[in-house]
Amino acid sequence: MQPIRRKSVLGKIARKNLAETAKLRNAIGEQEKQLLEISQMMTRIKELQGNSNDVNHISPNELRAARWYSLKLSEQAMILENRIEFVETELANLRRFSRDKSIKNSKLEKLIDEAEQMVRREKDREIEKKTTFLKLSGML
């Protein structure tokens, strides 16, 4: 492949990877935000569970209502724990993809630099050929 074409192709691939990396960073930010919100909800449920245990129940209806409330809080806590686990897994995957993209981008940058050097060398050779030709043609 010609050095100029190679440089152009590598540059396009690098720009595409940078765009994908930016998307990954946005997705990581969204997942971190969601994880924070879920953690805050989990803290609130733990507070509510702690507050529901302090009440003295006089009638069977109050006891049944408190039990139902406690059961619902436990269900919500379990759902949130599962969501936290899922979001943490997704976040770990996104971070891994982001690291892989960063490594790929650094390798592409090296290849682009090499291609640029090849282009410069090719241009220098062309200039050298022209000057050599001019010198030789001037001598004849």
pTM of the model: 0.68
Domain residue ranges in the chain: 3-135
Task: Determine the Cα–Cα distance for residues 47 and 94; give it in Å rounded to an integer.
Answer: 32
What is the tens place of the pLDDT at every residue in 101-136?
889 888 888 888 888 888 888 888 888 888 887 777
133 near 17, Cβ under 8 Å? no
> How far is the C-alpha of 41 from the C-alpha of 37, rounded, in Å?
6
Quick: pLDDT tens for 53-104. 766 767 888 888 888 888 999 999 999 999 999 999 999 999 999 899 889 8
Report the C-alpha gap between 95 and 88 in whole angstroms: 10
Q: Does domain 3-135 have CATH number 1.10.287?
A: yes
Q: What percentage of residues in the chain have a pLDDT greater than 70?
A: 94
